[in-house]
Amino acid sequence: MPEGDILRRVALRLSQVLVDQTITYCLFRWPSLAGADLTGQTVERVDAYGKHLLMRLDSGLTFRSHLRMDGAWLVEKAVDGSPASGSRAERWTARAVLANQSWVVIGQRLGMADLLRSRDLERLTGRLGPDVMAEDFDPDQAAGRVAAQGDRGIGTTLLDQTVVAGIGTIYMAESLFEWRVRPDRPANRVPDLPGLLAYARRLLWRSVNARTPTATGLTGRGQTSLAHGREHQPCRRCSTPIAVMRVGVPPLDRPAFYCPTCQPS
C-alpha cells in the first residue's frame, strides 16, 4: 500500500503539471462523481495529507483521492487539451482523468475519490492523526497520542491513521527494526517514542528525495529495506531469518516483518 513518501512524490509530480493550469478535459469513472465536470476550473495546489491526495481548485472545491492498495497517478502528454488516442485514460481502470492544454493525469485503480468544499477540509483532516511528514510535525505530541493507545501493539498503532497519518507497513517495519522492538509490543512500553516517530519521518523524507522509493537510502534491487518484504531472508545485522506476523484485527490485519533475534520483544 502506498505510504506517505509515495503520496508526496505523487503530489510533487502532479503539482508540476497541474498547478495554475486550467482544466480542459475531465472524466470520472466513479459512481458518486457521475456528471461532475471540472473543466474551466484552475488547479491551485496539490497536497498530500497522510495517504490522501488533495487537489484544490479555484472554484472552492477540492478533489480528494486515495490510492488504497494498488492505485497510481499517471502523467501523459496531452493533445490539444485532451488525452491522445490510445492513451491509458481509455482503460476502464482509469477512474479519474483530468487534462490541461499540455498534460493529462490519470488516476488508476483509485480506492476512493470525491469532491468536497475546501473549507470543509479541516474538519475532515481533523479525523486523521498528525501527518508524520508535515513541516509542523511535533514528535512529542504525536508520541503522546501513540502512548495513549496503552497496551495496543505498536505495529497496529503506527498503522492507525487516526493516531498518526502517513506510516504504512514498510516504514512501520523498518522503524521498529531500527528500534529493536517487536511489532506486538504494547505501544506504551516502547522506549523513546518521539525518537521512533522522528526516525520514521526521516526515512519517509529520504525516500521522497531519492531517485526511487527506498527505506534504506539504497535503490538497488533487494536493497530498499532491512526487514520489510524479506521473510526467510537473513537479517542484515545477525543473519537470523526475517519473520512476519500479522498485526491488527482481521480482515484489516497487515503483515509486520521483524527479526526474532534483534527484536525479541
Give yes or no for a contact between 132 and 201, defined as CB atoms under 8 angstroms apart.
yes
How many residues sit in the footprint of Zn ion (CB under 5 A)? Answer: 7
Active site residue 254: yes
Q: How far is the CB of 180 from Zn ion (least distance, A)?
A: 9
What does 205-252 look like in DSSP terms, one character per residue?
HHHHHSSS--SSS--STT-S-SSTT-BTSBPTTT-PBBEEEEESSTTS
173 binds Zn ion (CB under 5 A): no
CB nearer Zn ion, residue 194 or residue 229: 229
* Of 5-13, 116-124, 182-190, 253-261: span binding Zn ion (CB under 5 A): 253-261
Exactly one of 88, 109, 246, 254 is catalytic; name it: 254
E strand segments, the chain:
25-28, 43-49, 52-57, 61-66, 72-79, 82-83, 94-99, 103-108, 112-117, 243-247, 254-258
193 binds Zn ion (CB under 5 A): no
> Taking CB under 5 A as the rule, which mask of x and - marks residues 218-247 in contact with Zn ion?
-----------------x-xx-x-------
Closest by Cα among 110, 113, 89 to 99? 89
CB nearer Zn ion, residue 144 or residue 264: 264
Which residues does the annotation mark as catalytic?
A: 2-3, 51, 254
Question: Which residues are near Zn ion by CB under 5 A?
Answer: 235, 237-238, 240, 259, 261-262
